[in-house]
Structure 1
Amino acid sequence: KMAKMYLEHYLDSIEGLPNELQRNFTLMSELDSRTEEKKDEIDKLAAEYIANVKNLASEQRVQHLQRIEGAYSKCKEYSDDKVQLAMQIYEMVDKHIRRLDADLARFENDLKDKLDSSSHESSDEKKSRKDKNNKDKRATRDKTESDSDSPSLKKQKNSDPLLAMHPSDVLDMPVDPNEPTYCLCSQVSYGEMIGCDNLDCPIEWFHFACVGLSTKPKGKWYCPRCTQEMKKK
């Protein structure tokens, strides 16, 4: 039931993801079309310029070149927009992956707590049963003094298999050893994370809490280690 609850909540959270991804992919496709149109426009402007450059006045040449430059600038804008959309797609998917990791961690903790509780209840039952057995044994010993020293009763006191049992070990669900670790804490990805803008950062990704963040800062962000290295330089 617990696993089903976690699964239903997670499926609810990703219900809108396909539509969001489709929207971004459609916008990227439109940007591709606009870029191709601009490239055709640049080719025509360039051919026009080459054909008429000898007959154009200096001011006309400058104006024509500016039109070509403007078309190139538009192509760059479209490309930058495409990159931003691709980053949004990555962040959307990565956000749900991190949520899944966090849900799995919570599920494992809940399962562990449940098993701990079950083990505790089992121990209480055994203790109650042990107390009852001891009362019965004391009654038997009071009834007949000679029986208390008999080998058969001594054996009964020390060899009850139920009393000798220990609570079973709690099921521990370790992290997959193949899963990559990140951050200053060297733990797996979970919750909100932020990437260091130093391309040579050896760690790259950090948990918000570990670097004292509650929201994503504007502009470039560098991790404490890279910030310290930059100060040294």
Structure 2
Amino acid sequence: MQGQGTYLENYLESISTAPTELNRSLALIKELDYRSGEVVDKIETLKANLLATTPSGRKAAQELLNEKSSKSLKNDIKMILEYADEKVELSNQSYELIDRYIRKLDTELKKFETEIEEAEDDKKKKKSSITADTPKKGKSSSTLSRKKSQAEIVIPDPKMASSSELDMAIDPNEPTYCICGRVSFGEMIECESSGCKIEWFHFECVGLTQPPKGKWYCPDCTKKRSLK
């Protein structure tokens, strides 16, 4: 990604010739204005003489009416129109020059804004990735999902229900736990060992009547820990 200063430097370098080009066009327009003014003054003088009532005015009128003067007047008018067309063309060129540099500036600004947005998106993605890789305290997502699944389907305690009631209540898709291989019901406890294959156990299956104090490990994990 280019820095803001680099974008500005590149743009200023690209328009470095613009003032010279504009000054040239304006100088030419000014020169054409001057030439047009001279021709207009000449025509105005002839017009004033034509309308004058003095002898000199009548003489000028007679000269204007002859073929040579008439042709000269037509050429002067044609020249003024040509000067006007050249000035319009130079004005259009100057406008297009300025417009081109404005469009270039808009393009460069758009590119700069796009790169800033992409950089911000990359930062957010990296931050999200770091957050996702950081272990969270407490229960794992699989444990929370399991608890949610257990809450959706209420399984009666086997001690309080008949076998037919249990068969009707058990969802065939319900996951099984414990050393007994049955679904979740009643009070259950989680093994604190991170490598436990079963994880959750029914109180009655592991000989518990109430939650133990401190960390609790299932029989298999307790044996493994004692062998270390």
Give the TM-score of the pair, scaled to structure 1: 0.52
Corresponding residue to 2:192 among 137, 141, 147: 141
1:121 aligns with 2:122: no
1:39 aligns with 2:40: yes
1:29 aligns with 2:30: yes
Retained in 1: the 8 A contact 2:63–2:69? no
Q: Would the alpha carbon gap of residues 56 and 129 (structure 1) be closer, same or farther in structure 2, given more than 3 Å must change?
A: closer
Please tell me the residue identity of whatever aligns with 1:121.
Answer: K
SS of residue in 1 equivalent to 2:16: coil
Corresponding residue to 2:79 among 74, 78, 91: 74
Retained in 1: the 8 A contact 2:46–2:60? no
1:89 aligns with 2:90: no
Give the Cα–Cα distance (whole angstroms) in 2 for the partners of residues 75 and 143 of structure 1.
97
Structural RMSD (CA): 3.8
Corresponding residue to 2:59 among 52, 59, 64: 52
Retained in 2: the 8 A contact 1:45–1:68? no
Tell me the residue number matched to 1:183: none
How many correspondences in the alignment? Answer: 147
Q: Would the alpha carbon gap of residues 119 and 45 (structure 1) be closer, same or farther in structure 2, given more than 3 Å must change?
A: same
Give the Cα–Cα distance (whole angstroms) in 2 for the partners of residues 54 and 143 of structure 1.
118
Shift of 1:52: 3.4
Q: Would the alpha carbon gap of residues 48 and 83 (structure 1) be closer, same or farther in structure 2, given more than 3 Å must change?
A: same
Give the Cα–Cα distance (whole angstroms) in 1 for the partners of residues 29 and 42 of structure 2.
20
Please tell me the residue identity of whatever aligns with 1:36.
Answer: G
SS of residue in 2 equivalent to 1:141: coil
Q: Would the alpha carbon gap of residues 43 and 2 (structure 1) be closer, same or farther in structure 2, given more than 3 Å must change?
A: same
Unaligned runs of 5+ in 1: 154-233
Deviations 1:67-120 (A, max 9, x none): 111101111111111111111111111111111111111111111111111111
Q: Which has the higher contact order (CA 8 A, sep 6+)?
A: 1
Bigger radius of gyration among the two: 2
Corresponding residue to 1:112 among 101, 109, 117: 117
1:98 aligns with 2:103: yes
Give the Cα–Cα distance (whole angstroms) in 2 for the partners of residues 73 and 10 of structure 1.
43
Give the TM-score of the pair, scaled to structure 2: 0.53
State, as a whole percentage, how many aligned pairs show the same letter: 28
Give the Cα–Cα distance (whole angstroms) in 1 for the partners of residues 100 and 28 of structure 2.
21
Deviations 1:174-230 (A, max 9, x none): xxxxxxxxxxxxxxxxxxxxxxxxxxxxxxxxxxxxxxxxxxxxxxxxxxxxxxxxx
Q: Would the alpha carbon gap of residues 48 and 127 (structure 1) be closer, same or farther in structure 2, given more than 3 Å must change?
A: same
Please tell me the residue identity of whatever aligns with 1:109.
Answer: T
Alignment of 1:10-29 (within 5 A): 10-29=11-30
1:7 aligns with 2:8: yes
Shift of 1:41: 2.3
SS of residue in 1 equivalent to 2:99: helix
